[in-house]
């Protein structure tokens, strides 16, 4: 959970919105809605099972932009629904 939060915050960091502020938002979303993490785990398993280029669970988390976009979309949806 902490790794996912950190990766997402680092990828979206901007001088006007530093990664520390983003990290707090992502962590708050994960704490408030545990299904975000459950869905992320399911996504990781699906990618690993269906993508022959993916040899471990860390690859999509660190390098697959589509996977990262889906995870941050879930956080954005959580923010929108607040």
- SS in 3 state form for 28-72? HHHHHCCHHHHHHHHHHHHHHHHCCCCCCCHHHHHHCHHHHHHHH
d(CA 18, CA 66): 22
pLDDT digit string (tens) for 29-69? 999 999 999 999 999 999 999 999 999 999 999 999 999 99
Contact present, 54 and 62 (Cβ < 8 Å): no
Whether the per-residue pLDDT at 26 is higher than 90: the answer is yes
The pLDDT value given to residue 1: 82
Q: How confident is the model at residue 18 (pLDDT cuts 50, 70, 90)?
A: very high
Nearest to 77 by CA among 23, 25, 21: 25
């Amino acid at each position: 959970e902490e790794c996912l939060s950190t990766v997402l915050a680092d990828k979206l960091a901007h001088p006007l919105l530093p990664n520390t502020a983003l990290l707090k938002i992502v962590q708050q979303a994960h704490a408030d809605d545990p299904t975000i993490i459950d869905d992320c785990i399911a996504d990781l398993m699906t990618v690993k099972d269906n993508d022959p280029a993916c040899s471990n669970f860390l690859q999509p988390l660190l390098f697959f932009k589509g996977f990262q976009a889906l995870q941050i979309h879930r956080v954005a949806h959580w923010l929108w629904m607040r």
